[in-house]
Amino acid sequence: MRWIEEESFERLAEDLEGRGFNTSWIKEKVKSFKVETPSWGYRDSGTRFAVFHQPGAARDVHECLEDAAFVHRLTGACPSVALHIPWDRVEDFGALREEAEAKGVRIGAINPNLFQDPDYKFGSLANPKPEVRKKALEHIFECIDIMEQVGSEVLSLWFADGTDYPGQGDFRRRKAWMEEGLREVYDRLPGKSRMLIEYKFFEPAFYHTDIPDWGTAYALATKLGPKAQVLVDTGHHPQGTNIEFLVAFLISEGKLGGFHFNDRKYADDDLTAGSIFPYQLFLIFNEIVSAELEEVELDLAYTIDQSHIAKPKVEAMIQTVDVLQQMYAKALLVDRVALSEAQAEGDVVRGEEILREAFSTDVRPLLAQARRELGAEPDPLGAYRRSGYLERVAEERA
């Protein structure tokens, strides 16, 4: 793996400088890129048919923090951990915050669970029963209290609400209940915190979903106000959706709040990001970098949201972080001046080739150097495999 060597970075830097890029600036941008890892990504998971146990998988939130801290030490890019309530509920969240900080990470987004309780069989905030809607609200309010205790400023909301058959529910009434509940949540948000509204095309509801797409989430967030934004899960779309376009649209409206990164082949497969459509991931980052360079105000919560079943938990997380860093770095290598000229001249081929050249550049030597300067591992995946970490925790957590 010659790309790890510092000489490889020097050769890449010489090439990039010859193409008119400021390598030092690009390296600093890469060093500033941070992505949140989720507690549930370190636990056992499965398909709708079964949960599969992995040796060494985290059994509680404390072991999730241990794994997340190790990923951060190796990559230098994952300083925060998203929690899922009640999966990660503890007696003392103040103590959990101190525990995370002692390990070198902090608590990030708080995710309420509004789909697993039997009462939510027919919905949560859009449930026809007032007592169930009240229960869902009280759970979200509990999560807001937890946010204040752990220092989180992001409430991440996804609803499984929907129906399976025509006639099961009244669309407009359900919409009104959802809006009413979200307004109460919005009015409870403290200080500088914000709520991110996620959407999903289908599953577990197969006839209609109450928040099925980015347009619906955008409409709700716009009604609520500036503290409400849209969360884009890269697997939550109908086949063929132009995700990079909707990202650009939400940026232009000031309503893009963050991402749940994963990949898919058929539906919401929760595969590791970039494993199926890496070019699409690059094009998403291309829109983000374009906005950054135009000094558009962005505050994006980058979070990994994947189900590591066939892949080992921690190893899959490191692999994903590396892919995200690569795609962000590649997007920084787009010749924006030349691209703008090609677009103005209607030169379709040249415009596409400018993007292809950036995407085809091997940025691994640059990432290795950036990690060295961060005090992380130039090759985090290789370092993990050599570390014996999995063998140790598998024995401890048996």
pLDDT at 86: 97
pLDDT digits (tens, 9 = 90+) for 229-285: 999 999 999 999 999 999 999 999 999 999 999 999 999 999 999 999 999 999 999
Q: Look at residue 81 and tell me whether its pLDDT is greater than 90.
A: yes
pLDDT (0 to 100) of residue 215: 98
| Strands of the 301-304 sheet, one edge to the other | 37-38, 80-85, 106-112, 154-157, 194-198, 228-233, 256-261, 301-304
In this structure, the chain runs to a length of 398
Query: What single string gives the DSSP state of each residue in 76-93?
Result: S---EEEEEETTT--S-H
DSSP 8-state symbol, 49: S
258 in Cβ contact with 232 (< 8 Å): yes
Contact between residue 221 and residue 283 where contact means Cβ atoms under 8 Å apart: no
From 298, 266, 349, select the one nearest 32 (Cα to Cα). Answer: 298
CB atoms within 10 A of CB 191: 9
Q: What is the mean pLDDT of residues 107-126?
A: 97
**Exposed/middle/buried for 244, CB within 10 Å: 0-12, 13-18, 19+?**
middle
Q: pLDDT category, 188, cuts 50, 70, 90?
A: very high
Mean pLDDT over 155-173 rounds to: 98
In this structure, are residues 280 and 237 in contact, taking their beta carbons and an 8 Å threshold? no
Q: What pLDDT score does 77 carry?
A: 98
Element (H, E) at 140: helix 130-150
Segment 58-82 mean pLDDT: 98
CATH number of 33-334: 3.20.20.150
Write down the pLDDT at residue 232: 98
Question: Percent of the chain, pLDDT > 90?
Answer: 96
The band of 95, judged by pLDDT with boundaries at 50, 70 and 90, is very high
Alpha-carbon distance 328 to 32, whole Å?
Answer: 11
pLDDT 10s digits, 192-201: 999 999 999 9
Instruction: Write down the pTM of the prediction.
Output: 0.97
Which H or E element spans position 365? helix 364-374
Query: What is the chain's mean pLDDT, rounded?
Result: 97
Question: What pLDDT is recorded for position 3?
Answer: 87
As a dihedral over the C-alpha atoms of residue 238, residue 242, residue 245, residue 250, rounded to 10 degrees, the angle is: 20
Residues of the chain above pLDDT 70, percent? 100
- Domain-by-domain residue ranges, the chain? 33-334
Instruction: Confirm if 276 and 263 have CB atoms less than 8 A apart.
Output: yes
In this predicted structure, the answer to whether residue 1 has a pLDDT above a threshold of 80 is no
pLDDT tens-digit readout, 12-67: 999 999 999 999 999 999 999 999 999 999 999 887 788 889 999 999 999 999 99
Which pLDDT score is estimated for 234? 98
Closest of 350, 296, 360 to residue 330, by C-alpha: 360
